[in-house]
Amino acid sequence: MASHRIPLVLLACGSFNPITNQHMRLFELARDHMHRTGQYQVVSGIVSPVSDNYGKQGLVLAKHRTAMAKLALQSSNWVTVDEWESQQPDWTETAVTMRRTNQDRGCLNKPLGL
């Protein structure tokens, strides 16, 4: 039955200032839920930290937040960090990040409808 499931990529955008155990746990909970539906097969998870120009007071530099996220996820075999959003000159809408992730990773080879 798993071969008939729709492949799904989980994407979390945010400051991750810093990334926490709960951020990582959310991926596990979401994956478990989606698998239980019997309709989806989560194929990967992506953490996408915002850029330095997000405007949040006390925001640590993106290069440091990205490095912390990579360290936190180094033992994961399915959740990775995507640096693209963090390297943008301005804050990026989540829909833009989703479209770019869809194009770059060839997710389902179908548009997300955004």
The Cβ of residue 100 has, within 10 Å, a number of other Cβ atoms equal to 16
Measure CA 15 to chain center.
12
Question: 26-56, pLDDT tens digit by residue?
Answer: 999 999 999 999 999 999 999 999 999 998 9
Is it true that domain 6-105 has CATH number 3.40.50.2300? no
pLDDT at 111 over 60: no
Joined tokens for residue 49: 């930290």
What is the pTM assigned to this prediction? Answer: 0.87
Question: 76-108, pLDDT tens digit by residue?
Answer: 999 999 999 999 999 999 999 999 988 876 654
In this structure, what are the phi and psi dihedrals at residue 4, rounded to the nearest 5 degrees? -95, 5
Domain segments of the chain as ranges: 6-105
